[in-house]
Structure 1
């Protein structure tokens, strides 16, 4: 049996659409493949399926959202069908590394297929996990968050910082700009007022690089 429940916390959110991470699928097949083995082994075949998926995605990196979605539906979807059918047709020892890799893939098949519904989604959440390291590595510094509101505030601030970095901003300049200008707004209740301060807003991009 698979010991972990991926995205378990997010399953409590009514409006969350879960997206499975194919890097986790690949990792399980990698761990199930002995270093000294040929390409005909089941582990190596599972690994090859994952590599083909990522190779296609890499080829489509510069496409528009619409073009990437079309490619996924016409090329990625059939490859996923082939992979999951292959997993279903294998006779492997339950509880073995290979058995765990296949069971994990099939158990969460629906979430691994979610990426086929939107061209902006990604096959791997490695980037998001790396962004979380700021929080994880400084966890002892967050002990002041002794309440839900404190933890929520910390999460919001760190989310802003990491999003700013992803959009090429100087994080310190961006936070300084927010602290200097937001308090001077007549109201923060209007959506358009807050949107003007988001990291990708044209004005922010000009002043916070």
Structure 2
């Protein structure tokens, strides 16, 4: 049974995910923060929605619509369309859902990812680094290994949007307060939200 479990830690150092997850050996999706990548033995994934969001922000920052951010979003839209198609299809008889997803992604997603990577490599030298577009291109290229790993295993998700929907209540609520009064209070909040979801 899937669960959502919140944990409070007083900092962002690598010792916190290491203490929380210990010797976890499963799939771990994160936003690219390097502290998570210090967990040895886990299969690290990047969240495609995080990369896509950076290009969406770059598009919003433009005076004119279109251009490179819009081009990038077309690649992401293709990848998500493939995911929807894969979920709607029925695996061949005797084939597991995971093996079917892998086969479908290998056939349809990998060519799109290859085209996106070629486009990113071509545009990277032309973008100004300290811009929204520069950030989007840099982040996506730096996280490429993790962002594309989902096509290797049909059990792996393309993004963590399912979890992000679950934590939206917490993210919305935190705008109502700046700090918890104590560390114990912060931990109590994490436990309460875990029980609520």
- Give the TM-score, by structure 2 length: 0.64
User: Are the equivalent residues in 2 in contact too, given 1:29–1:101 (CA < 8 A)?
Assistant: yes
Matched, 1:123 2:158: yes
Q: Is the 8 A contact 1:53 1:79 kept in 2?
A: yes
Structure 1 residue 9, shift from structure 2 partner: 3.6
- Who is 2:24 aligned against? none
Q: Which runs of 5+ in 1 are unaligned?
A: 163-209
How far did 1:79 drift? Answer: 0.9
- How many residue pairs get aligned? The number is 153
Unaligned runs of 5+ in 2: 1-30, 90-96
Question: Which digits, 9 at most, give the CA deviation of each residue in 1:116-175, with x for residues without a partner?
Answer: 1111222121211222345556778x877639xx67x939x92x764xxxxxxxxxxxxx
| Counterparts of 1:17 and 1:161, CA distance in 2 | 29
Deviations 1:15-61 (A, max 9, x none): 222211111111111111236424xx211111111111111111111
2:130 alignment partner in structure 1 = 95
State the alpha-carbon separation in 2 of the partners of residues 97 and 30 from structure 1: 9
Contact 1:10–1:16, Cα closer than 8 Å, also in 2:
no
For 2:139, which of 104, 110, 113 is the aligned residue? 104
After alignment, is 92-101 or 8-17 more displaced?
Answer: 8-17
Matches within 5 A, 1:38-187: 38=66, 41-63=67-89, 64-90=97-123, 91-133=126-168, 146=184, 154=191, 158=194, 162=197
**What are the equivalent positions in structure 2 for 1:11-26 lying under 5 Å apart?**
11-26=37-52
2:100 aligns to what SS in structure 1? helix
Measured in 2, the distance between the counterparts of 1:146 and 1:10 equals 24
The structure showing larger relative contact order (alpha-carbon pairs under 8 Å, at least 6 residues apart) is 2
Q: Which has the higher strand share?
A: 2
The TM-score, its normalising length taken from structure 1, stands at 0.61
**Could you say which residue in structure 1 is the equivalent of 2:53?**
27
Q: How far apart are residue 7 of structure 1 and its match?
A: 3.7
Deviations 1:48-103 (A, max 9, x none): 11111111111111342221110111211121111011101112112121111111
Give the match for residue 23 of structure 2. none
Larger Rg over CA atoms:
1
